Structure 1
Amino acid sequence: MQSVFGFHNPSRARAFCYATTASDNSVHRQQIEREAPVFRDASTWTADRLVQQIVQDEIHILVNLNGYTRGARNEVFAARPAPIQMSFMGFAGTLGAEWCDYILADETAIPPDTLRPSRRNLGLEDQLLDQQSHDDEDWVYSENIIFCKETFFCCDHAQSESRESQSTWEDEQSKRWKMRKELFPSLSDDAIILGNFNQLYKIEPTTFRTWLRILDKVPKAILWLLRFPDLGESNLKRTAQEWAGDSVASRIWFTDVAPKHQHISRARVCDLFLDTPECNAHTTAADVLWSSTPLLTLPRYKYKMCSRMAASILKGALPNSEEGRQAARELIAEDDDQYEEFAIELARNFSYRIQPSGHGEGVGRLGELRKILFDSRWTCALFDTRRWVSDLESAYDEAWRRWVSNEGGDIYL
């Protein structure tokens, strides 16, 4: 999100950034410090001091970018230093707290039928009234939702390279093949690379068994995982041998975690990214799609936002056309069986044709899906950060108008 704060239209919004963690001196942190209209390093401040500063700054809308993750300062939000308080990006799910009025999302990430029926969220009286339906209603989200018309996810890849520097499709194919040979020099030319670059804790037994069955049914495929952490490699290898035998376990290949820019660049080597349905790839999904690699996902739970994130991100990376919608239908499974079927079909019907120049060109639906993602990188919603900022400003405007008018309810952009 490092470009967001500098992209705001000064006539619509002025961003005050309160940094709750010490600087890591990364280029991203430096850019935020440089471009945010007001930047305050609050990493050593007490909760009381931070609350008082927010009140003194007369903040209209306070945004929680941490949720229940490292660096969170939720006690500040519990003090209610701003009239309106929101959550987005940092935590994929409900905060389950009366001090969070809105979540920024879309109907893929948060289906409307998972919302509490009564959610005015304007005062204590509303909270007491809402408690009456606590026991007899099947709902998860107590917050009002700001439903984005495109994906709610924000990333900054389009600002990391200029459009003029984008390779042609032919050059991209050549670059992919060269990098594939550098990363996996012993891999045969007809091998299909399935991959997942999430932290290994996201791989639960059901998903791992599915991956082993996919490898068993696609003998020319390998599964590329990261040593994230190192200990995971030996554990997963041993489990694969016990569950599927050496012929499958030997085709699970691990590499070290790479620096961010290298990670994004080499993601293009993967032929199909297999998402983890229990807890999806989030930032990693955006990284993979920026590399134009097709991503197969399963929104396993209606009520669990972290299992629905990749579907939202994928839709945002595809063109807003029938071609894009068809691609989404082929890459977003409805259940575990379909996830397995989709992966096997895509991998089995994909091959490489060696060109006169020496590089392999992908043939099959996977190659077509990659071309769709490649062609839409600069026009799709996911990587249009300025579009996202403009939509966010519209959300701020409407949320403030409703607060002034004493109106509640969800906001549809």
Structure 2
Amino acid sequence: MRAIDLLIADLRAATADPPQAERAVRWREWMQSVTLPDILSLPARAGEVPNRLWLAEMLSSWLQVQGAGTPGAGLIWFNLGVELGRIDRPADAATAYQNALLLRPDLWQAAVNLANLHEATGDRNAAAGILASALQEDEARITLLNQRGRVLEAQRRLAEAEQCYYRSLLVDGDQPDVVQHWAFTRQNICAWPVFGPPVPGRTPDALRAQSGALATLSLIDTVAGQRQAVAAWLERRLAKAPAPTVRLAPAEGYAHDRLRIGYVSSDFCRHPMSYLMAELLERHDRSRVEIYGYCSSPEDGSDVRARVLAALDQRRLVRDLDDESVARLIRADEIDILIDLNGVTAGERLGVLRWKPAPVQATYLGFIGPVPVPELDYILTDEHAIPPHLAGEYWPRPLYIPGVYQANDSRPVPLPPVSRAAEGLPEGGFVFCCFSNAYKITETMFDAWMEILRRAPGSVLWLLADNEWAAANMCARAVEQGVDPGRLIPARRVEPSHYRARLALADLFLDTTPYNAGTIASDALRMGLPLLTLSGETFAARMAGSLLRAMGLPELITRDRASFVEQALRHAGDPAYHAGIRARTTPERWLATLGDTRAFAKAFEETLEKVAIRRK
């Protein structure tokens, strides 16, 4: 029998124990006659073996016998790195990959794996450096550019990441996942127009359709367009795992005295969703409902995380469980209505929903748009955010909460003292502001803001300084629009209490469209700051209007750019008019409407009761 066949026989008979000393001696004898092609074929020929450590030891034995620097050894070092990674020995794996690259600098797969190991330890600088040095002028270039772009994006080195993605698309424009990251990175740095740089063989419309779920909310203001783009993203996302062939929940439902509501989220941490949801979870009427939480959030030690977890009747920490395990846990808990709080945002667990672990499944708050997953029954909303005449265009279908869709937390927050001077604002003059993330700001909206500044002498625009490239691009655009960039005042990121307090220093919040402010809109109104919005067709373009209607401020809802600009100018130029609106935009009015969480919880529960499936 050939030596390679003897090695494979040993592997298939391997135990969980380390190889014995005499076996290692035998392997070294066999390695004398094992050729390079034979040893390279060993992992594939062995297949699944009881103990991968034995395979790693065999590869190491070959290198010792044949010579660690012998021709072709670079590939063996690479295979050894893969096996060491599989048995959770990352430091040894990194050494193997480094040796592989010393012998084969063109072995880009080793560079990718070594970079992944560094990234897993948090050393993204090392990861980016390895990927940069490994770039090749061949088919490997796309993979390395994409990998480096992703690492740079995670580091918030956004301009460099954008260039990596674009260079990759110049090689091959038909990469939907790269288009998605490229578009969103350009949105985040306010590189307008988003699809200005040409991609060979692709039109801007074709690129827009592949720009990913979250980016779509700022790029498309038609329900049909958003649904098509999200469906394409879901097809790519869900194609990575086959759909379950069974549905876990009984079609007839359960017979519980209290309705069991389960919330699934990766954002039970310091995240806007938790700040909105905390009091609703606390206010649920325990005589009517029982609350379960399926949490895959990071342990960030925040006060809001502790508060959310304390508000749950039953807590299930499922971050380390696969989708099927989470789904079967939900089924075992006999949840009546499962509410997904992520939609298609980061950390989503859509694979759990595919098992249909609850008779009724809905999505809420996390993603303000269509989520065309077949196993979702409803999207929780209100009749302004999704008008009934557009309900048929959405999937899942709308389930209307009376009044307003958005939950809020009315608990008072201690606010620090703030002043215009401390924030770098002029003491006099009208202060417009927008604290939404940069990716929500479109060039069309920004140009409308610049028209307002041109026509309102002495006014300034206070903007979140999200990143240096966005600030530079906005200043350059201001110059193009005939506005002194000094009138754009940067606002740094601060603690939540400071952020809320300083909202009261501005005069008027200028909303973004087609992706309105949501949590920030509610915070502004809570602090007595009027918000001017421009409502479009989609949920995302109507959510601020929903809040304004609930507070009885329909004058602040506009329908087109011209009326948006004129209304903003009226506030800046007519002190009596502005004072009248501000007198109706008070913390007390917010508390009686959007902040009435007790009434909201009751309406929320009654809405769920209408669609609950109960076994008689």
Q: What's the TM-score once normalised by structure 1's chain length?
A: 0.78
The structure whose Rg is larger is 2
> Does the 8 Å contact 2:421/2:427 carry over to 1?
no
SS of the aligned residue for 1:14 comes to strand
Match of 2:459 among 195, 198, 221: 221
Q: Distance in 1 between matches of 2:299 and 2:557?
A: 38
Aligned to 2:444: 206
Question: Letter of the aligned partner of 2:548 in structure 1?
Answer: L
Question: Letter of the aligned partner of 2:500 in structure 1?
Answer: I
Aligned to 1:179: 419
Q: Distance in 2 between matches of 1:340 and 1:212?
A: 10
Give, in angstroms, the shift of residue 245 of structure 1.
4.2
Match of 1:315 among 541, 549, 569: 549
> Does the 8 Å contact 2:508/2:529 carry over to 1?
yes
Question: Letter of the aligned partner of 2:600 in structure 1?
Answer: W
Q: Deviations over 1:22-42 (max 9, x none)?
A: 221111110111221111111
Give, in angstroms, the shift of residue 85 of structure 1.
0.2
Give, in angstroms, the shift of residue 404 of structure 1.
5.7
Q: Distance in 1 between matches of 2:579 and 2:280?
A: 33
Give, in angstroms, the shift of residue 3 of structure 1.
2.1
Is it true that 1:142 corresponds to 2:395 in the alignment? yes
Q: For residues 293 and 236 of structure 1, do their structure 2 counterparts lie closer, same or farther at Cα, with a shift above 3 Å needed?
A: same
> Does the 8 Å contact 1:103/1:143 carry over to 2?
yes
Q: Deviations over 1:300-324 (max 9, x none)?
A: 2x2x2111111112222x2xxxxx3
Give, in angstroms, the shift of residue 379 of structure 1.
4.5
Q: Deviations over 1:362-381 (max 9, x none)?
A: xx222222221216435432
Question: Letter of the aligned partner of 1:332 in structure 2?
Answer: I
Q: Distance in 2 between matches of 1:236 and 1:396?
A: 44
Give, in angstroms, the shift of residue 181 of structure 1.
3.1
Aligned to 1:332: 557
Question: Letter of the aligned partner of 2:433 in structure 1?
Answer: G
Q: What's the TM-score once normalised by structure 2's chain length?
A: 0.53
Q: For residues 226 and 378 of structure 1, do their structure 2 counterparts lie closer, same or farther at Cα, with a shift above 3 Å needed?
A: closer
Aligned to 2:521: 285
Q: Distance in 2 between matches of 1:160 and 1:376?
A: 12
Q: For residues 404 and 93 of structure 1, do their structure 2 counterparts lie closer, same or farther at Cα, with a shift above 3 Å needed?
A: farther
Give, in angstroms, the shift of residue 188 of structure 1.
4.2
Q: Deviations over 1:220-274 (max 9, x none)?
A: 210000111232111110111122243xx22111121111111011100110000
Identity in percent = 29
Q: Distance in 2 between matches of 1:297 and 1:208?
A: 13
Q: Distance in 1 between matches of 2:603 and 2:354?
A: 27
Q: Distance in 1 between matches of 2:591 and 2:483?
A: 45
Is it true that 1:159 corresponds to 2:397 in the alignment? no
CA-based RMSD: 1.9
Q: Distance in 2 between matches of 1:13 and 1:373?
A: 34
Question: Letter of the aligned partner of 1:159 in structure 2?
Answer: R
> Does the 8 Å contact 2:433/2:463 carry over to 1?
yes
Q: Distance in 2 between matches of 1:293 and 1:73?
A: 36
Q: Distance in 1 between matches of 2:600 and 2:483?
A: 47
Aligned to 2:512: 276
Q: Deviations over 1:41-69 (max 9, x none)?
A: 11111111101100110111000100000
Q: Distance in 1 between matches of 2:547 and 2:483?
A: 35
> Does the 8 Å contact 1:150/1:381 carry over to 2?
no
Aligned to 1:82: 358
Q: Distance in 1 between matches of 2:464 and 2:594?
A: 25
Q: How many equivalent pairs are there?
A: 340
Structure 1: 5+ residue stretches without partners: 117-139, 167-174, 319-323, 351-363, 406-413
Aligned to 2:67: none
> Does the 8 Å contact 1:270/1:293 carry over to 2?
yes
> Does the 8 Å contact 1:196/1:224 carry over to 2?
yes
Q: For residues 314 and 230 of structure 1, do their structure 2 counterparts lie closer, same or farther at Cα, with a shift above 3 Å needed?
A: farther
Match of 2:430 among 181, 186, 192: 192
Aligned to 1:125: none
Q: Deviations over 1:327-364 (max 9, x none)?
A: 31x210011111011001111112xxxxxxxxxxxxx2
Superposed, 1:230-269 pairs within 5 Å as 230-246=468-484, 249-269=485-505
SS of the aligned residue for 2:398 comes to strand
Match of 2:607 among 383, 395, 407: 395
Aligned to 1:4: 280
Is it true that 1:306 corresponds to 2:559 in the alignment? no
Is it true that 1:383 corresponds to 2:595 in the alignment? yes
Q: Distance in 2 between matches of 1:84 and 1:347?
A: 49
Q: Distance in 2 between matches of 1:92 and 1:395?
A: 19
SS of the aligned residue for 1:115 comes to helix
Question: Letter of the aligned partner of 1:232 in structure 2?
Answer: A
Q: Distance in 2 between matches of 1:245 and 1:225?
A: 15
Give, in angstroms, the shift of residue 115 of structure 1.
2.1
Superposed, 1:35-50 pairs within 5 Å as 35-50=311-326
Q: Distance in 2 between matches of 1:32 and 1:347?
A: 41
Q: For residues 241 and 230 of structure 1, do their structure 2 counterparts lie closer, same or farther at Cα, with a shift above 3 Å needed?
A: same
Structure 2: 5+ residue stretches without partners: 1-276
> Does the 8 Å contact 1:20/1:72 carry over to 2?
no
Question: Letter of the aligned partner of 1:28 in structure 2?
Answer: V
Structure with the larger RCO, 1 or 2 (CA within 8 Å, 6+ apart) = 1
> Does the 8 Å contact 1:381/1:387 carry over to 2?
no
Q: Distance in 2 between matches of 1:149 and 1:59?
A: 24
> Does the 8 Å contact 2:525/2:590 carry over to 1?
no
Match of 1:348 among 562, 567, 573: 573
SS of the aligned residue for 2:460 comes to strand
Q: Distance in 2 between matches of 1:341 and 1:115?
A: 31
Give, in angstroms, the shift of residue 112 of structure 1.
1.1
> Does the 8 Å contact 2:453/2:483 carry over to 1?
no
Q: Deviations over 1:127-186 (max 9, x none)?
A: xxxxxxxxxxxxx21333221221110121x1134xxx99xxxxxxxx99x62233236x
Question: Letter of the aligned partner of 1:347 in structure 2?
Answer: A
